Amino acid sequence: MEFSFSSSASKIVHSTAFTSLESGDALMIGVACLLVYLAIWKKFEPLLLLPMGFGCLLANVPMSMMASTDTGGLLNFFYQGIKHEVLPPIIFMGVGALTDFGPLLANPTTLLLGAAAQIGVYMTLIGAVFLGFNMQEASAIGIIGGADGPTSIFLASKLAPHLLAPIAVAAYSYMSLVPLIQPPIMRLLTTEKERKVKMEQLKPISQTVKIIFPVAVTIVCCLMLPGVTPLLGMFMLGNMFRESGVTARLHETAETHLINIVTIFLALAVGSSMTAESFLRLETLKIIALGLLAFAFATAGGVIFGRIMCKLSGGRVNPLIGSAGVSAVPMAARVSQKVGAEEDSSNFLLMHAMGPNVAGVIGSAVAAGVFLSLFGDASTSMDTHAALAPIIGNPEPGMQAVATVVEAIKQ
C-alpha cells in the first residue's frame, strides 16, 4: 500500500464527521446542549433530560451510527426496547414499587379527580385534530396531558412512532415545569376560602386491602381495556412487590436499580430518535404548544372537579388537591401542598393530594387504554416471538439442543 503524507492527511480529513455535518445536525446538537443545560443548571427532570439530551447529541453526530434508525447501532438496540413496548412497562413497575396507594384507598372518591384531570388529554386531542393531525397522532399528542412520561412514550410508539421524539420531549419538559404551570391556574380557579379548607385526617387502611387492591385493579382495568395491560399490569406488579411484604429484595430492586437502569436506556433511546429529520419540523412546534395546552387544561379540569366535590361534600374537600390528578407523581401533589400552605401554613394537603396523584397515574393509563382500543391496529401488533426474533435470534435451535442433551442424559 502506497503511503504519502498529503493523501493520508486528506483521507483523515475526509473521514471526520465535519465533512458530513449539515445545518440540521448542527441545530440538533444545539438542541441537545440546551437539554443538557436545562437538566444540569435548571434542574428540569435531570434524570431524564440529561441522558435524553446526550442521546440526542450522539444521534446527531454524523457517521456515528447512534441514531435510533441506524440498524446495528448501539442506540438502535436500546430503541428496540421502546419499539417493542419493553422499557415503559418496566419503568411503570418501578413506579408501582415506589407508590403508596394508602391515601387513595383511604379516600377513594379522589379517583374521580384523577379522571377529571384527563380532560386535558381530550382538549389536546381536539386541538391536535384542529391543527391537522390525524386521530392516531392526535391521541398520542393528547396523552401528554396525562403528565406521564412512560405512558406518553408507550402510546406514541404504538400510534405515532414518527412523533415519539417531540412527544417525549414535550411530556418530560412540561412535567418539570409543573411547579410553574399549575399554581397560577389553581389560584385563578379557586377562592381564598376554598384554598383554606382543611381536610380530615385520612383513615388507616388494612394491609390486606393494600395487597388485594393491585389484583383488583388489574382484573377490572385490564379486562375492560386489554391494550393497557403491559403498563397497568406491571405498575400493579411493582406495587405487589411493595405491599406483599414477602418480596423485599424484588421491591428494592424494582424501585431503585432496575428503574434507574431502564431510565438510562429509555432516555437514551428517546434521545437517539431526536434526529434533524424527525425533530426539525413544524409538527414539533405544534406538539410543544399543544403540550402546554394539555397541562393547563388537565390542571383546570382537576381543580374545577375539586370545586364540585368541595360543594357536594359541604366544604370538606380542598379543591387544590384536584390539580394533583394530572399524575406527575409526586411533584403535582407537592404543588397542591405548596399553594395550600401559602394561604394557611398550618394546612397540610400533601397526603390528601397523593390520592388524586396516584389516581392520575391510573387515569392516564386508562386513557391510553381507551385510545388503544379505539385506534390501535390489532393487525400491526406483532407476535412477541416474531418481534424479538431479529434481536435475540430464533430460540428454537437452542430449545432443540437442550432437548437433545436431556434425551442423552436420560439414555
Partner 1 sequence: MEASVSAAVSVSALAMSVIFMVLIILIFTIKLLVKLIPYEAPPAPPARKVSAASSQPEQDDQVAAITASLAAHMGKRPDEFRIVNIQSR
CB of 120 to partner 1, least distance (A): 11
Q: Decide whether 119 or 189 has the Cβ nearer to partner 1.
A: 119
CB of 131 to partner 1, least distance (A): 10
Q: Which of 172, 166, 129, 128 lies closest to 150, judged by CA?
A: 172
Mark residue 67 as left, alpha or beta (left: phi above 0; alpha: psi -120 to 50; beta: remaining): beta
CB 336, CB 110: distance < 8 Å:
no
| Cα(322)–Cα(289) distance, integer angstroms | 23
CB of 360 to partner 1, least distance (A): 11
Q: What is the DSSP string of 124-171?
A: HHHHHHHTT--HHHHHHHHGGGG--HHHHHHHHHHH-GGGHHHHHHHH
Q: Decide whether 91 or 115 has the Cβ nearer to partner 1.
A: 115
Q: Decide whether 44 or 213 has the Cβ nearer to partner 1.
A: 213
CB 177, CB 199: distance < 8 Å:
no
CB 113, CB 302: distance < 8 Å:
yes
| Count of Cβ atoms closer than 10 Å to residue 267 Cβ | 28
CB 189, CB 304: distance < 8 Å:
yes
Q: Decide whether 67 or 237 has the Cβ nearer to partner 1.
A: 237
Binding site for partner 1 (CB under 8 A): 104-105, 108-109, 111-112, 114-115, 118-119, 121-123, 125-126, 128-130, 133-136, 138, 203-206, 208-209, 212-213, 216-217, 220-221, 224-225, 359, 362-363, 366-367, 370-371, 374-375
CB of 114 to partner 1, least distance (A): 7
Inter-CA distances, 251 with 35, 244, 246, 258, 409, Å: 32, 9, 9, 10, 38
Q: Decide whether 40 or 224 has the Cβ nearer to partner 1.
A: 224
* Three-state secondary-structure class, residue 274: coil
Q: Decide whether 17 or 224 has the Cβ nearer to partner 1.
A: 224
Q: Which of 286, 331, 296 lies closest to 121, judged by CA?
A: 296
CB of 222 to partner 1, least distance (A): 11
| Cα(380)–Cα(202) distance, integer angstroms | 46
CB of 216 to partner 1, least distance (A): 5
Q: Decide whether 128 or 259 has the Cβ nearer to partner 1.
A: 128
CB 337, CB 349: distance < 8 Å:
yes
CB of 150 to partner 1, least distance (A): 18
Q: Decide whether 48 or 225 has the Cβ nearer to partner 1.
A: 225
| Cα(145)–Cα(153) distance, integer angstroms | 13
CB of 123 to partner 1, least distance (A): 8
Q: Decide whether 58 or 367 has the Cβ nearer to partner 1.
A: 367
CB of 146 to partner 1, least distance (A): 11
| Count of Cβ atoms closer than 10 Å to residue 72 Cβ | 7
Q: Decide whether 151 or 272 has the Cβ nearer to partner 1.
A: 151
Q: What is the DSSP string of 285-319?
A: HHHHHHHHHHHHHHHHHHHHHHHHHHHHTTS-S-G
CB of 168 to partner 1, least distance (A): 22
